[in-house]
């Protein structure tokens, strides 16, 4: 079963679509959640996501060691990774090239899973150039991570207003 990358802006419907894809996968589901409740508002967001998931789904909260957590899920299980954006934010103490290499390894692990999966990530490069260096670093880094994941995905979709647009693969020379 393939793995799909869902990329789009905040509140574009990515997580909802990922949930619908998991619900129709015909397999047990494990959600690998990367968010950490560092304040009350994020705690409410996490609680809302948890409440939206069926009781039969297992949730593993793993903010950093996502590759290992993904590899530990039984191969026949459908995996939902939600979300890469927060995972990258959690890794910002690492070197950028190391983070991109981790994303490539994550993509390889996901691509080798017979149970399939879906990965949620944000597109943050479509707006203005951020005013500070750290925000520019994050924007650029997440773009590179998304490319690494898309290169290994069977399908990549842009999600806008709850609708999807399949992104065509371009084979580089």
Q: Hey, what domains does the chain have and what are their CATH numbers?
A: 3-166 (3.40.50.300)
> Residue 141's pLDDT is what?
97
The answer to whether 89 and 138 have CB atoms below 8 angstroms apart is yes
At 156, give phi and psi (nearest 5°): -130, 135
Give the residue from 95, 104, 83, 101 showing the smallest Cα distance to 149.
104
3-state DSSP assignment of residue 60:
strand
pTM (2 decimals)?
A: 0.94
Out of 36, 49, 130, 155, pick the active-site residue. Answer: 49
Distance in angstroms (rounded) separating the CA atoms of residues 127 and 110 = 29
3-state SS assignment for residue 103:
helix
CB 15 within 8 A of CB 59: no
pLDDT of residue 14: 95
What is residue 85's predicted lDDT score, i.e. its pLDDT? 97
Structure tokens at 53: 């998931």
Q: Is 49 a catalytic residue?
A: yes
Yes or no: say if 146 and 121 are a contact pair by the CB < 8 Å rule: yes
Provide the pLDDT for residue 173: 62
Q: What's the confidence (pLDDT) of residue 172?
A: 62
Q: What is the pLDDT of residue 130?
A: 84
User: What is the SS3 assignment for 76?
Assistant: coil
Consecutive 10-residue runs of the chain (173 residues): their mean pLDDT?
Answer: 90 94 96 93 91 94 97 98 97 97 98 96 90 95 97 96 91 66
Q: Is the peptide bond before 83 cis (omega within 30 degrees of 0)?
A: yes
Secondary structure of residue 145 in the 3-state scheme = helix
């Amino acid at each position: 079963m393939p793995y799909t990358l869902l990329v789009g802006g905040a509140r574009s419907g990515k997580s909802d679509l990922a949930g619908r894809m998991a619900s129709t996968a015909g397999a047990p589901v494990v959600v690998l959640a990367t968010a950490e409740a560092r304040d009350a508002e994020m705690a409410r967001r996490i609680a809302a996501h948890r409440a939206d998931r069926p009781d039969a789904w297992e949730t593993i909260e793993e903010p950093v060691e996502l590759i290992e957590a993904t590899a530990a899920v039984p191969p026949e299980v459908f995996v939902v990774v939600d979300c890469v954006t927060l995972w990258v934010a959690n890794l910002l103490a690492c070197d950028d090239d190391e983070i991109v290499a981790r994303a490539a390894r994550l993509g390889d692990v996901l691509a080798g899973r017979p149970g399939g999966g879906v990965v949620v990530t944000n597109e943050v490069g479509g707006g203005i150039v951020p005013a500070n260096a750290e925000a520019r670093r994050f924007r650029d880094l997440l773009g590179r991570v998304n490319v690494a994941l898309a290169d290994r995905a069977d399908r990549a979709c842009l999600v806008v207003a709850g609708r999807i647009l399949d992104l065509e693969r371009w084979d580089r020379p």
